[in-house]
Amino acid sequence: MYPRLSDLFQDLFGFDFPIPIYSFGFMVAAGAMFGAWILQKELDRMYGSGLIGGVRMPETTKDKKGRKKMVEVSPSFIVGTITLIIIGAGFAGAKGFHILENLDSFFRAPARMVFSTGGFTFYGGMIVGGLGVVYYVKKKGLSVGRIADAMAPGVMIAYGIGRIGCQLSGDGDWGIASDLAAKPGWLPTWLWAETYPNNIMGIDLSATPVYPTPLYEFLAAVLIFGILWSFRKHKHVAGWLFWVYMVFNGAERFFIEKIRVNNRFEWFGQTMTQAELIALVLIAIGVVGIIKTWTPPKTVGKPVAEPAK
């Protein structure tokens, strides 16, 4: 494992990189950038087809009186701000939900848990980051449903890329002890049982290899991204694609939790993890949302003609 990419540079090129670049943070940033690029492309497409309105921004030039004229531009102009909100609020929410999930450890060493480079809960980041985006989008007068649809594919693939960071760093998001006897003969051992040597948690797994669940989630994210991307030109009410994302996301996380190490709690007479409970809620909300948005969409403005080729 390579908790720091600088260690990877050292092994591959013999170069001692002076700045410690942590794998998890780097991959999360890479995922956010790729997701932002996809969001930008989708918003430009929606704006061009009249499915979403634009945002008003001042021109760079001024009139004779020194005033800047307001013009309407594609909402892709605010993707940078949306990305910063997701990262900032998302990290705060991810850390907060992790603390709630591990209150006993937090009370023993609060500063250590708050400022540690590990310990993040995806759903906490998703919920808090999502609320921040909703507030900002509403403030800009844009359709929350359309923005959510445009974000769905990018958020899914960004999640998958972030999981590669978990795999490289060995941050504890691995699975339970793997059953080597059940491994299919055609499957490589590293895809069934991993010991995470040099993991950032400092845990020795050499005697009990575990399922590399971050890799499974990456593969699932790629598959779901492909499905969402193929559905992006859907003929339903705004928000439909996001509800589809909610169902897929919830289902993926619910089933991966069955072979993943996590704290389990008693919920309504059933023993499950915090992520399993949230996943079930997301699936239920997603199904209701899909049903409610199963109608043709309405355009916001006049479609913009494509430039002549």
Shortest CA distance to 173 belongs to which of 21, 27, 19?
27
Total number of domains constituting the chain? 1
DSSP per residue, 182-246? G--TTS-GGGT-B--TT-TT----TTS-B--HHHHHHHHHHHHHHHHHHTTT--S-TTHHHHHHH
- Please name the residue that has the structure tokens 């040099």: 198
305, with CB counted inside 10 A (0-12, 13-18, 19+), is exposed
Take residue 277 and report the two structure tokens written for it. 């409970």
**pLDDT confidence of residue 263:** 76
- Please name the residue that has the structure tokens 């808090």: 128
Count CB-CB contacts under 10 A for residue 307. 5
Residue 299 lies in a domain: no
Question: Strand pairing partners for 267?
Answer: 270
Is 71 in a helix, a strand, or coil? strand
Residue 173: domain span: 5-57+70-182+192-292
Whether this model's pTM surpasses 0.85? no
Could you say which residues of the chain have pLDDT below 50? 302-309
Residue 18 lies in a domain: yes
Could you tell me if 135 and 141 are in contact, meaning their C-beta atoms sit under 8 angstroms apart? no
Shortest CA distance to 249 belongs to which of 134, 127, 145, 133?
127
**pLDDT confidence of residue 278:** 86
Tell me the per-residue pLDDT of 34-64, one tens digit each, with 9 for 90 and over: 999 999 999 999 999 999 988 887 766 666 6
Residue 298 lies in a domain: no
**Rounded alpha-carbon distances, angstroms, from residue 147 to 51, 141, 142:** 10, 11, 8
Is 264 in a helix, a strand, or coil? strand
Could you tell me if 122 and 98 are in contact, meaning their C-beta atoms sit under 8 angstroms apart? no
CA distance 226 to 246: 15
Residue 149 lies in a domain: yes
**pLDDT confidence of residue 68:** 67
Residue 62 lies in a domain: no
CA distance 91 to 286: 24
Shortest CA distance to 118 belongs to which of 177, 196, 207, 10?
196
CA distance 211 to 195: 9
Residue 300 lies in a domain: no
Residue 90 lies in a domain: yes
Could you tell me if 174 and 194 are in contact, meaning their C-beta atoms sit under 8 angstroms apart? yes
171 phi and psi angles, rounded to 5 deg: -90, 15
Residue 142 lies in a domain: yes
Could you tell me if 214 and 194 are in contact, meaning their C-beta atoms sit under 8 angstroms apart? no
b/e per residue, 98-119, with b = 16+ CB within 10 A? bbebeeeebeeeeeebeeeebb
**Alpha helix stretches (DSSP H) within the chain:** 5-13, 23-48, 79-101, 103-108, 110-115, 122-139, 144-169, 213-230, 240-256, 274-292
Q: Are strands 55-62 and 68-73 parallel, antiparallel or unpaired?
A: antiparallel
